[in-house]
């Protein structure tokens, strides 16, 4: 709990970075830490309450990361299913509902956020997004590439089970595809997809530039 309190938004917070788990949160946070150190961030809370507190404190920027719901949910399921006592379907529905609740709130308040897509975080488009978010501080392309390489090397050092690591693997991808196939008829997931598409439409200039 002490660690969570440390990550919660406060008047000392410089930047807020959050989103549903498995949506590029760690990469984005580590990139910003490396570039703008020293910096105080609120991150990895994955909660509506922390976003509300950031609003109350008038913090800026508030960066929300988003990933296609079936991809984010499947990744969360294979990471966490051994930690749940429920049957697999219960775990899957739990994460679908968590995704829907979080981004329903984001959609209702979308003008308060800078939204960055998961695919942007792990592509060269991140450079443009960084320039858009932090237009008062220039970052050269060489600096960008150096920081990105350093963050990638840091994430590769994760020694946990491959399903919990924040780097891709063939086995993880196979398990994700099985999970996505099992979810394909989910009405809840269809609702999530509608939310995702609406957010993409409203923030296309941020997501894909």
What is the per-residue pLDDT across 7-60, written as a single tens digit (0 to 9) for each?
999 999 999 999 999 999 999 999 999 999 899 999 999 999 999 999 999 999
Structural domains in the chain (count): 1
Q: Is the pLDDT of residue 186 over 90?
A: yes
Is 99 domain-assigned? yes
Residue-wise pLDDT for 151-185, tens only, equals: 999 998 888 777 777 777 888 889 899 999 999 99
**pTM of the full structure:** 0.90
Is 158 domain-assigned? no
Closest listed residue to residue 30, CA positions, set 119, 126, 135: 126
Q: Which residues pair with 115 in a beta bridge?
A: 64
Domain that holds residue 27: 2-150+164-207
Is 15 domain-assigned? yes
Q: How many CB atoms are closer than 10 A to CB 205?
A: 8
- Above pLDDT 90, what percent of the chain? 72
Helix (H, G, I), strand (E, B), or coil: what is residue 115?
A: strand
| Helices marked H in 81-186 | 88-108, 118-121, 125-133, 141-156, 170-183
Q: Is the pLDDT of residue 1 over 70?
A: no
**d(C-alpha 80, C-alpha 88), whole Å:** 10
Is 85 domain-assigned? yes
Indicate which CATH number applies to the domain containing 117. Answer: 3.40.50.300
Is 25 domain-assigned? yes
Q: Which helix (H) or strand (E) holds 62?
A: strand 62-66
Q: Give the pLDDT of residue 170.
A: 86
Q: Give the pLDDT of residue 163.
A: 72
Closest listed residue to residue 155, CA positions, set 146, 144, 165, 163: 165
Is 157 domain-assigned? no
**d(C-alpha 68, C-alpha 120), whole Å:** 12
Is 9 domain-assigned? yes
Is 155 domain-assigned? no
The band of 61, judged by pLDDT with boundaries at 50, 70 and 90, is: very high
């Amino acid at each position: 709990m002490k660690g969570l309190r440390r990550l919660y938004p406060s008047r000392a917070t410089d930047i807020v970075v959050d989103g549903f788990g498995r949506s590029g949160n760690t990469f984005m946070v580590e990139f910003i830490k490396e570039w703008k150190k020293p910096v105080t961030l609120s991150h990895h809370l994955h909660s509506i309450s922390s976003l509300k507190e950031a609003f109350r404190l008038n913090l800026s920027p508030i960066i929300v990361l988003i990933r296609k719901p079936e991809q984010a949910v499947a990744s969360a399921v294979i990471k966490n299913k051994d930690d749940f006592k429920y049957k697999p379907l219960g775990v899957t529905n739990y994460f679908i509902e968590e995704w829907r609740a979080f981004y329903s709130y984001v959609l209702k308040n979308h003008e308060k956020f800078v939204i960055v897509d998961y695919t942007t975080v792990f592509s060269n488009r991140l450079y443009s997004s960084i320039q858009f978010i932090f237009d008062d501080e220039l970052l050269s392309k060489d600096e960008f590439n150096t920081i990105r390489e350093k963050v990638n090397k840091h994430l590769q050092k994760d020694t946990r089970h491959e399903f919990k690591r924040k780097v891709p693997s063939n086995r993880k991808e196979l398990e994700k595809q099985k999970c996505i196939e099992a979810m394909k008829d989910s009405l809840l997931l269809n609702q999530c997809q509608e939310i995702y598409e609406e957010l993409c439409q409203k923030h296309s200039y941020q997501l894909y530039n």
